[in-house]
């Protein structure tokens, strides 16, 4: 959610920090601010609204210094205004703090600090940290931060500066991502590598319970007992061009059009055509261990949960292993049946989703083996899972996930192929699936080449107040995903249902004003879906059909039709999702929505 950037080095810090904040805009925020060591003390400038407003304030009243921290806030405690914006400053003005996460015992700490004479000016939980660190400070900033954090319950990624212990940043992590960037005689702190990629590709990721002490001479990583920790330096393998729009109007559109390439990247080097199987070196499981699991649990949130539902269909059909899909946000709050004979697959684009990470840790605590399907190399889930599959989709900046979703589905199919061939899946069926997978990128390109047809459809429906999305089998999760995309970025109310469930309630909504999107390719349940279309048409609903061939059963019953190429049932969800992504995008644009940064949403949900 929120974003953190820090800088220590020979250069003027303010423009570097503002540049970093701009790289983090995609994460979602409602205010921004900087704190700079100006030679006389800590000078803080912050403002509600977009970073451009902060920029204007800094242009009018420049702040000079070579050490500083900056933040973009997404409101949790208190409304989005200037007072609640970060950084927050201690009572004596010597310490500034930026913070991602939630301090769960903030009320207790605040009462204690008020009793000791501290004055609180904001509604935030973060201000507690600033005063608490001041209370613990005796001249050494890292010691004060350690002592303060021992009293804190909750989650945090923090960066702290002090004018008394100057030219130093102390950063600590528990449950909220944080890294140190290593430049040439300069150092960075950030919550996301995109903030600093223009200046370095070398980073050190902090784990929970670790703290970085960064100054002009270098960096140290210690635990909260002040014991030094040896950490690996990671190198980022994607470049700045991948987080630029590249001529597209929005990141979301760019990422939709990248899907032929991103799917190639997900499959590259992993398909064994002759053997009809997949090679997945990162699972860290022997074939015998894979065969020993009694059941599989897949846990995820949002779009990733929809890919998990498709994975459930795939795995159960091709491997005959029981699969249960769980919302990660609910998983650890009940008593799930998970043990050492359970394989738990967790799916997260960022690899930092708080609920999914917590679900994975709970599964591990109960003895399950865990596999992560993530996009971000070096993310927390990637580091903590027993094994996993990187989807290699490249950075996804648009808040509404598109290319990560389709790559997640392919990653799940790769896993299914691997497990299926170890069990009862025939080599011929495996080869047929792989042949269809090879055709997939070209088929998606065919859909993208006809995006103007979807744009015209969006013009027709841009003023709709409600949408219904219906699908069956593999395409029911596509209906859920299509509805989610529309509501996320256009703010139109939309619902996805299994088509057969329509008559168990939603049919009451259908009239001549209701657009109903049917995902109706020619698959094993097409005939049943055709009957559902007739039911909607009989009630004057406006039918939009995503189909794959000329079907007599649909003659006269469809108002708008978009054809996708034919493929096997397993891969229909990937093809069918692309026109729905485009439909949501074009409707949102025509309604004037902020497509890449929809209201109230954040790209990476790192708080519960």
pLDDT at residue number 240: 62
Give the tens place of pLDDT for each residue, 298-323.
999 999 999 999 999 999 999 999 99
> In the chain, what's the furthest Cα-to-Cα distance?
81
Judged against a pLDDT cut of 90, whether residue 528 lies above it is answered with no
Token match 């995109």: residue? Answer: 194
Smallest Cα–Cα separation from 358: which of 41, 57, 605? 605
Distance separating alpha carbons of residues 579 and 87, to the nearest angstrom: 42
How does residue 555 score in pLDDT terms, banded at 50, 70 and 90?
confident
Q: Is there a contact between 306 and 481 (Cβ–Cβ < 8 Å)?
A: yes
Tokens of 57: 């304030």
First-last CA distance in the chain: 11
* Mean pLDDT calculated for residue range 331-336: 86
Beta strands in 391-462 (DSSP E): none
Judged against a pLDDT cut of 90, whether residue 334 lies above it is answered with no
Judged against a pLDDT cut of 80, whether residue 43 lies above it is answered with yes
Judged against a pLDDT cut of 60, whether residue 601 lies above it is answered with yes
Helices 141-149 and 126-136: angle between axes, nearest 10 degrees = 120
Provide the percentage of residues in the chain whose pLDDT is more than 90: 73
Tokens of 528: 């049943």
How does residue 608 score in pLDDT terms, banded at 50, 70 and 90?
low
For residue 327, with 0-12 CB atoms within 10 Å meaning exposed, 13-18 middle and 19 or more buried, which class applies?
middle
Per-residue burial over 419-434, b = 16 or more CB atoms within 10 Å of its CB, e = otherwise: bbbeeebeeebbbebb
Smallest Cα–Cα separation from 218: which of 191, 194, 192, 183? 183
Phi first, then psi, for residue 565 (nearest 5°) are -65, 155
CA-CA-CA-CA torsion sign (407, 408, 413, 416): positive
Provide the percentage of residues in the chain whose pLDDT is more than 70: 97
Q: Say which residue, 486 or 520, is predicted with more confidence.
A: 486
* Mean pLDDT calculated for residue range 390-410: 92
* Mean pLDDT calculated for residue range 244-253: 84
CA dihedral angle for residue 76, residue 79, residue 83, residue 87, rounded to 10 degrees:
20
| SS3 of 555-569 | CCCCCEEEECCCCCH
Judged against a pLDDT cut of 90, whether residue 173 lies above it is answered with yes
Task: Count the neighbouring beta carbons within 10 Å of the beta carbon of residue 418.
Answer: 23
Phi first, then psi, for residue 228 (nearest 5°) are -65, 140
Distance separating alpha carbons of residues 286 and 283, to the nearest angstrom: 8
Instruction: Tell me 75's DSSP state.
Output: -
HSE (side-chain half, CA atoms, 13 Å) at 457: 24
* Mean pLDDT calculated for residue range 13-34: 88
Phi first, then psi, for residue 70 (nearest 5°) are -145, 165
Distance separating alpha carbons of residues 240 and 234, to the nearest angstrom: 17
**Least confident piece of the model among 14-18, 209-213, 498-502, 540-544:** 498-502
Phi first, then psi, for residue 139 (nearest 5°) are 115, -20
CA-CA-CA-CA torsion sign (403, 406, 409, 414): negative
Taking phi over 0 as left and psi of -120 to 50 as alpha, with beta for the rest, 372 belongs to beta
How does residue 66 score in pLDDT terms, banded at 50, 70 and 90?
very high
**Least confident piece of the model among 175-184, 266-275, 319-328, 531-540:** 531-540
Judged against a pLDDT cut of 60, whether residue 607 lies above it is answered with no
Distance separating alpha carbons of residues 160 and 148, to the nearest angstrom: 12
Give the tens place of pLDDT for each residue, 460-482.
999 999 999 999 899 999 999 99
Average predicted confidence (pLDDT) for the chain: 91
pLDDT at residue number 118: 94
Per-residue burial over 260-298, b = 16 or more CB atoms within 10 Å of its CB, e = otherwise: bebbebbbeebbbeeebbbebeebebeeeebeebebbbb
pLDDT at residue number 602: 60
pLDDT at residue number 604: 56
How far is the CA of 1 from the CAs of 26, 99, 414, 419, in angstroms?
A: 9, 11, 31, 36
Judged against a pLDDT cut of 60, whether residue 114 lies above it is answered with yes
pLDDT at residue number 529: 72
pLDDT at residue number 352: 87
Q: Is there a contact between 156 and 174 (Cβ–Cβ < 8 Å)?
A: yes
Which of 295-309, 486-500, 594-608 has the highest average model confidence (pLDDT)? 295-309
pLDDT at residue number 1: 58
The model's pTM: 0.80
Q: Say which residue, 495 or 556, is predicted with more confidence.
A: 495
For residue 185, with 0-12 CB atoms within 10 Å meaning exposed, 13-18 middle and 19 or more buried, which class applies?
exposed
pLDDT at residue number 598: 83
Q: Say which residue, 535 or 156, is predicted with more confidence.
A: 156
DSSP states along 548-605: SS--GGGTTT-SEEEE-----GGGHHHHHHHHHHHHHHHHHHHTT--SSS-TT--SS-
pLDDT at residue number 98: 96
How does residue 507 score in pLDDT terms, banded at 50, 70 and 90?
confident
Token match 């703010």: residue? Answer: 491
Judged against a pLDDT cut of 80, whether residue 12 lies above it is answered with yes
The domains found in the chain, sorted by start residue, are: 3-236 (3.60.20.10), 244-448 (3.40.50.10490), 451-590 (3.40.50.10490)
C-alpha 511, offset from chain centre: 36
| SS3 of 338-356 | CCCCEEEEEEECCCCCHHH
Residues serving a catalytic function are 2, 603
């Amino acid at each position: 959610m929120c974003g953190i950037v820090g800088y220590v080095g020979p250069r003027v810090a303010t423009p570097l920090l503002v540049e970093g904040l701009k790289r983090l805009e995609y994460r979602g925020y409602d205010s921004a601010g900087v704190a700079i060591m100006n030679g006389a003390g800590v000078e803080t400038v912050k403002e509600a609204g977009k970073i451009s407003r902060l920029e204007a304030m800094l242009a009018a009243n420049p702040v000079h210094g070579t050490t500083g921290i900056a933040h973009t806030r997404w409101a949790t405690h208190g409304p989005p205004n200037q007072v609640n914006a970060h950084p927050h400053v201690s009572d004596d003005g010597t310490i500034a703090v930026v913070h991602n996460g939630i301090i769960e015992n903030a009320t207790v700490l605040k009462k204690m600090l008020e009793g000791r004479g501290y004055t609180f000016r904001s509604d935030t939980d973060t201000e507690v940290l600033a005063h608490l660190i001041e209370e613990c400070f005796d001249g050494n900033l890292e010691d004060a931060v350690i002592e303060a954090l021992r009293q804190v319950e909750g989650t945090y990624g923090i960066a702290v500066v002090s004018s008394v212990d100057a030219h130093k940043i102390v950063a600590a992590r528990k449950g909220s991502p944080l890294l140190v960037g290593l430049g040439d005689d300069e150092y960075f702190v950030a919550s996301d590598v995109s903030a600093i990629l223009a200046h370095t590709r070398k980073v050190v990721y902090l784990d929970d319970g670790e703290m970085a002490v960064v100054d002009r001479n270098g960096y140290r990583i210690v635990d909260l007992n002040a014991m030094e920790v040896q950490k690996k330096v990671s190198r980022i393998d994607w470049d700045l061009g991948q987080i630029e729009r590249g001529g597209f109007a929005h990141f979301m559109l760019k990422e939709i059009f990248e899907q032929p390439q991103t799917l190639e990247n997900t499959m590259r080097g992993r398909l064994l055509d002759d053997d009809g199987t997949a090679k997945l070196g990162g699972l860290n499981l022997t074939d015998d261990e894979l065969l020993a699991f009694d059941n599989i649990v897949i846990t995820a949130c949002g779009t990733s949960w929809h890919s998990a539902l498709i994975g459930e269909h795939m795995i159960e059909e091709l491997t005959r292993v029981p699969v249960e899909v769980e919302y990660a946000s609910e998983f650890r709050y009940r008593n799930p049946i998970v043990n050492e004979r359970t394989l738990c697959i967790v799916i997260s684009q960022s690899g930092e989703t708080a609920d999914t990470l917590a679900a994975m840790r709970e599964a591990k605590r109960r003895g399950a083996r865990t596999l992560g399907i993530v996009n971000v190399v070096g993310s927390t889930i990637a580091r903590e899972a027993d094994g996993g599959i990187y989807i290699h989709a490249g950075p996804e900046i648009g808040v509404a996930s598109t290319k990560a979703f389709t790559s997640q589905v392919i990653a799940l199919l790769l896993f299914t192929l691997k497990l299926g061939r170890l069990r009862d899946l025939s080599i011929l069926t495996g080869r047929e699936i792989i042949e269809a997978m090879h055709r997939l990128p070209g088929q998606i390109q065919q859909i993208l080449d006809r995006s103007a047809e979807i744009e015209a459809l969006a013009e027709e429906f841009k003023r709709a107040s409600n949408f219904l999305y219906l699908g069956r089998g593999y395409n029911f999760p596509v209906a859920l995903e299509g509805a989610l995309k529309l509501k996320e970025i256009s703010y139109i109310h939309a619902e996805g249902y299994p088509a057969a469930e329509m008559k168990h309630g939603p049919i009451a909504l259908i009239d001549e004003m209701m657009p109903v999107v049917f995902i109706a390719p020619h698959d094993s349940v097409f005939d049943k879906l055709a009957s559902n279309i007739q039911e909607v048409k009989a009630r004057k609903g406006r039918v939009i059909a995503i189909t794959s061939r000329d079907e007599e059963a649909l003659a006269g019953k469809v108002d708008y039709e978009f054809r996708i190429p034919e493929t096997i049932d397993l891969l229909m969800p990937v093809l069918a999702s692309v026109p729905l992504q485009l439909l949501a995008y074009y409707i949102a644009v025509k309604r004037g929505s902020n497509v890449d940064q929809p209201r109230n949403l954040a790209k990476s949900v790192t708080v519960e």
